[in-house]
Amino acid sequence: MLKALIFDVDGTLAETEDLHRQAFNRAFSELGLDWHWSPELYADLLTVMGGKERLAHYVATEHGEPDAERRAQMSEIHDRKTGIYGDLVTKGALELRPGIARLVGEAKRAGLLLAVASTTSRPNVDALLAVNFPEGSPFDVVACGDEAERKKPHPDVFVLALTRLGVAPGEAIAFEDSVAGIRSALDAGLPVVATRSRYTGGHSLEGAFSAVSDLGEPGTPHTHLSGIPWAGGVVTLAGLAAWHGRAGRPPSPAGGTASPRREDRGRQ
């Protein structure tokens, strides 16, 4: 029985990544650094999961292993960036991706549990949810990267979300947008719906039982990419429950899935 939906944040709930990039660049400028992350550079940096880790990777790669002074500066940069990002979100710079509010509402009305499982920092998640759900967050659980021992592609944050929800992997479905996120969810035993985002356009979405451009809205259907299709180009709770009840088998702990249907082979 389907009991819960678990959502990634960056690129899944909203197209947050470029706002993170802008916030980093403003933090660099405010702190007197001549660093600048272009969209092309940021796309490469996104292979490193987590803002703090991304910054550390950039510093080590471009400026050498940091000493104590540089590490303190990196902490200041990230704190400043988090504040800038929160301000941008509060001013309405981000909206939820197509279909998110609709599907979350359907799940809530049906009594399903909802969770966030993200590598981003908790203040970033709180800011996004506060703006887009002004009457109160519909999510029962928020699990963030700083609370998990290891970040994606490790399964820790999804395992943490499942534990807090009190549901088994076979009773939930995850929503992701990246290779690392899909791997994380699969290794936690969760089936995955994948949506392409701005910075994951070149990612293989293999492993997801369905991959689409977005969740779709009535009258504004998504583009089907691979796996199972959705009636009308819209991912609905009824459709998810039907798939789960008919064919939903959680992946093995190693991330293996059942063989795709013949018509899906070669489209992953």
Enter the tokens of residue 64: 């050498």
Residue 37's pLDDT is 97
For the segment 179-210, what is each residue's pLDDT rounded down to a tens digit? 999 999 999 999 999 999 988 887 789 999 99
Q: Which residue has the tokens 């709180």?
A: 126
CATH 1.10.150.240, the chain: domain bounds: 17-90
Residue 250's pLDDT is 44
For the segment 223-263, what is each residue's pLDDT rounded down to a tens digit? 999 999 999 999 999 999 999 998 655 444 333 333 333 23
Residue 266's pLDDT is 28
Residue 247's pLDDT is 62
Architecture of the domain made up of 17-90: Orthogonal Bundle (1.10)
Instruction: Indicate if 8 belongs to the active site.
Output: yes
Minimum mean pLDDT range among 19-23, 46-50, 153-157: 46-50
| Residue 182, Cβ density class (10 Å: 0-12 exposed, 13-18 middle, ≥19 buried) | buried
Task: Confirm or reject CATH 2.130.10.10 for domain 4-15+96-248, answering yes or no.
Answer: no
CATH 3.40.50.1000, the chain: domain bounds: 4-15+96-248
Instruction: Indicate if 10 belongs to the active site.
Output: yes
Report the side by side order of strands in the sheet with 224-227. 141-144, 113-118, 4-7, 172-176, 192-195, 210-212, 224-227
- Cα separation, 224 vs 222, in Å, equals 6
- Give percent of the chain with pLDDT exceeding 90: 78
What DSSP element (H or E) covers 167?
Answer: none
